[in-house]
Amino acid sequence: MLTQEEGHGRASGIRGRVAELCYSTGALHPLQRVRSWWQKDLRILAYHRVMLLPDPATYDFDLELISTTPERFRAQMLHLKRHFLPLRLRDVAAALDAGDSLPPDAVVVTFDDGYDDNYRIAYPILRELGIPATFFVSTGHIDTGKPFGYDWLVHMILLTTAPRLVLPELGMDVPMPRDRDLRRALAGTVLQNMKSIDAIAQEAMIKRLEHDWQLPSDNTESADCRPMTWTQLREMHAAGFEIGSHGVHHRMLAKLSRDRMKDEVRQSKATLERELDAPASLMSYPVGGDRAFDAEVMSAIREAGFQLAVCYICGTNPQPASNRYALNRLPVERMMGPGWFAAMLALPSLVSYPTVNREPAHEQAHA
């Protein structure tokens, strides 16, 4: 198991210590060059939010969605520019269509969801450094400005005065902890467990809690949980950045009926093309783990006219033509220091986070 020491962004564990040693001794770049001779796998970085790390005691949203700070993001992009070849996803699609091999050390930068810090913080840094990137947005949230459902659920669990968390949909009935860290842990358990139920049932559960706890997402204008606007996205698109689909309502596509799933795919594509006046050809599966998409979803993506799709399963892509509708990514985590980040890119099979496929732990949630 790979963990991080949050105080200074170093990875712990044997592999983490090896990574830090390679970075501190300058061995990473020679190792990277040797690796690139025989392994020409595509690396895709996955970010969510870029922002200053808030005080957990006063920050009322999901800390796990913060990928990095502005300072570290700039350093990461500088490292990418100096030691790798940043590509656009459409460059990858063009190479695959032509049957061409990708160049060594190809890396793509991607963002999921569409938080407005992507525009305020990440976009200016990327534009200044000349790093291409793809921003996957949930078009329904861009339309309405409403916060993302999963993030709002964490927000409600952190703020509610309810004495118990009662979720019959998940078989949960537990005391609401007083301690904020314990509430964050409980929210993480809820998020994990709810991924096993139908996507519409997930939304209904969140809406019920909004009503019962009198914390409606319709009335919020919180700067801590705000999506981008179409005006901002048009500016980014005009500057050469790719805007892709992350669904309409951030629903797990494999947890929808076939008809609803196809509507979600087609509507997101049609909205992007209408608002940006350009073809939409790139998809990131909302949530993106192994329960979020399946063969039927990938078929619908192809039929709708998307050229590539990325998931949230950790790894690189040795032969991207074989999984162009389920491209693996390397998640960037908020406490990742420069050594850990550099080692993840140079030696991803050694030090990247493993994807853990967990079964819902309903039985652990009862009290």
| Tens of each residue's pLDDT in the chain, 367 residues | 344 444 456 666 666 677 778 788 887 888 787 777 777 899 999 999 999 999 999 999 999 999 999 999 999 999 999 999 999 999 999 999 999 999 989 999 999 999 999 999 999 999 999 999 999 999 999 999 999 999 999 999 999 999 999 999 999 999 999 999 999 999 999 999 999 999 999 999 999 999 999 999 986 666 788 999 999 999 999 999 999 999 999 999 999 999 999 999 999 999 999 999 999 999 999 998 989 999 999 999 999 999 999 999 999 999 999 999 999 999 998 888 888 899 889 888 776 665 544 333 333 333 3
CATH code: domain 3-146+226-356 is 3.20.20.370
Please tell me the predicted confidence (pLDDT) of residue 362: 32
Nearby residues of 37 by Cβ (< 8 Å), 6 or more positions away: 104
φ/ψ of residue 117, rounded to 5? -65, -20
Domain positions in the chain are 3-146+226-356, 149-219
pLDDT at 366: 30
DSSP three-state, residue 297: helix
Q: Quick one: pLDDT at residue 223?
A: 72
DSSP 217: G
- 43-47 and 327-331 beta bridge pairing: parallel
Q: Which of 242, 267, 256 is nearest to 135 (CA)?
A: 242
Q: At what angle do helices 230-238 and 258-276 cross, to 10 degrees?
A: 70
Note the pLDDT of residue 337.
Answer: 86
Q: Which residue has the tokens 């004495």?
A: 163
With beta carbons less than 8 A apart as the criterion, state whether 135 and 114 touch: yes
Rounded distance, CA 85 to CA 91, Å? 12
Among residues 96, 84, 67, 99, the alpha carbon closest in space to that of 129 is found at 84
Question: Of the candidates 238, 258, 257, 228, which has an alpha carbon nearest to the alpha carbon of residue 139?
Answer: 228
d(CA 302, CA 291) in angstroms, rounded, equals 19
What's residue 27's pLDDT?
A: 78
Q: Residue 26 has what pLDDT?
A: 83
Q: How far is CA 216 from CA 19, 178, 205, 209, 248, in A?
A: 45, 22, 13, 9, 20
Whose tokens are 């949909």? That residue is 169
The reported pLDDT for the residue numbered 353 is 61
**Count of C-beta atoms within a 10 Å radius of residue 137:** 28
Longest Cα–Cα distance in the chain: 60
Pairwise CA distance, residues 230 & 228, whole Å: 7
Q: Is 264 exposed, middle or buried (0-12, 13-18, 19+ CB in 10 A)?
A: buried
| Alpha-carbon gap, residue 300 to 323, rounded angstroms | 15
Task: Name every residue whose Cβ is closer than 8 Å to that of residue 208 and which is 6 or more positions away in sequence.
Answer: none
